[in-house]
Amino acid sequence: MKTALITGISGQDGAYLSQLLLQKGYRVVGLVRRSSNQEKASERLRWLGVEKDVELMDGDLTDLSSLIRVLAKVQPGEVYNLGAQSFVALSWQQPILTGEVTGMGAFNMLEAIRLLALKSRFYQASSSEMYGLIQAPLQNETTPFYPRSPYAVAKLAAHWITVNYRESFAMHASSGILFNHESPLRGIEFVTRKITDGVARIKLGLATHLELGNLEAARDWGHARDYVKAMWLMMQQESPRDYVVATGRSVTIRAFCEIAFGHAGLNYQNHVRVNPAFFRLAEVDCLKGDATKARERLGWAPETTLEELAAEMVEADLRRLAQK
């Protein structure tokens, strides 16, 4: 039986990846931070019905000793490093913490694997945010990076240390440069979920409007369920490599509003207000990924359209609020 260790198992991707690996017969162990509310750590796993099938172990990406302890005990064949302070806007308010978790966390995990001389394969959750001020209209694995936030700078450090450990120590370390991916399990602070939650509130008469920031930024959005499949495929390859994972379709926040409000029979123009408080200090205006390499080498392709994704999210938020 294969064993996988997932950092960030309580997050959106951690939940979908756990589900996928369990379906494939893996033993799944997750690293979780100590919290005063342990119920919270399992909320997403519970949503997917896999809470009882994973093992959770205490640890923190900023605490090398905890990583060594967990790795030595679990001896995983695959390590998926998904843990991060992942909210870009917060990274200007907590840049040092973001650097320590999102950046140094990857250094710690790689170093722990190396010190223990484990043969574990390593996956790093790299991000399209690293392209930032884009240097090409369509971004692929060879496009130069230009990070625009403390989060993106930290991700870039984590990305390059993954490349470096692969080249220096012949580790099976791969980086997935994933473009935005969403789902009903997306954190409420991210724009798609904020919108679908807002749509549901307005539809149910719990609110009349929704405040957003820059409506003209454009993102290449896919479904998290599809994207975790690419992570797993990378780890099954004989040679470790870096891959862009994206849909190749980029739409504005405004267009996403139109789709999500439209799904509930609403016109976003009657409900969305722009509040400059939600603008970024340095914006990433437009991201659009070219996943040709993932398609050709991994046989990966997105399976969910943006319209299907938005509909699934709106429906889930309607159900959640109705239950409350």
Residues making contact with ligand NDP (CB under 6 A)? 7-8, 10-14, 31, 33, 41, 60-62, 82-86, 101, 125, 127, 178, 180-181, 187
Is 51 considered catalytic here?
no
Catalytic residue among 86, 127, 149, 183: 127
Q: How far is CA 246 from the centre of its chain?
A: 12
Coil, strand or helix: which one is 223?
A: strand
x/- mask, ligand GDR, residues 244-263, rule CB under 6 A, reads ---------x----------
d(CA 139, CA 143): 6
Choose the stretch contacting ligand GDR; rule: CB under 6 A; options: 44-52, 71-79, 126-134, 265-273: 126-134
Asked if 223 touches ligand GDR (CB under 6 A), the answer is no
d(CA 132, CA 152): 8
DSSP lists the bridge partners of residue 56 as 30
Q: In the set 129, 226, 290, 317, which binds ligand GDR (CB under 6 A)?
A: 129
- In this structure, are residues 158 and 105 in contact, taking their beta carbons and an 8 Å threshold? yes
- Give backbone dihedrals phi and psi of 200, rounded to 5 degrees, phi first: -65, -40
Partner from ligand NDP, ligand GDR, none binding residue 294, C-beta < 5-8 Å depending on class: none
Catalytic residue among 66, 80, 126, 129: 129
Rounded least distance, CB 122 to ligand GDR, Å: 18
Asked if 10 touches ligand GDR (CB under 6 A), the answer is no
Tell me whether residue 76 or residue 83 sits nearer to ligand NDP (CB atom): 83
| Token pair belonging to 25 | 């017969």
x/- mask, ligand GDR, residues 67-96, rule CB under 6 A, reads -------------------x-xx-------
Catalytic residue among 151, 165, 227, 268: 151
- In this structure, are residues 64 and 108 in contact, taking their beta carbons and an 8 Å threshold? yes
Tell me whether residue 195 or residue 202 sits nearer to ligand NDP (CB atom): 195
Considering Cα of 229, then 231, then 236, then 241, what sign does the dihedral take?
positive
Asked if 226 touches ligand GDR (CB under 6 A), the answer is no
Is 129 considered catalytic here?
yes
Asked if 313 touches ligand GDR (CB under 6 A), the answer is no
d(CA 45, CA 34): 17
| Token pair belonging to 314 | 């709106």
Rounded least distance, CB 115 to ligand NDP, Å: 18
Question: Identity (one letter) of the amino acid at 211?
Answer: E
DSSP lists the bridge partners of residue 125 as 176
List the Cα angle 307/311/316 in 5-degree steps: 150
65: left (phi over 0), alpha (psi -120 to 50) or beta: alpha
Question: Identity (one letter) of the amino acid at 239?
Answer: S
| Subset of residues 175 to 194 that bind ligand GDR, contact rule: CB under 6 A | 179-180, 189-191, 194
d(CA 261, CA 266): 5
Asked if 217 touches ligand GDR (CB under 6 A), the answer is yes
List the Cα angle 324/278/192 in 5-degree steps: 50
Tell me whether residue 197 or residue 202 sits nearer to ligand NDP (CB atom): 197
Is 65 considered catalytic here?
no
Give me the active site residues, please: 127, 129, 151
> Would you tell me which residues interact with ligand GDR (CB under 6 A)?
86, 88-89, 127-129, 179-180, 189-191, 194, 212-214, 217, 219, 253, 278, 280, 283-284
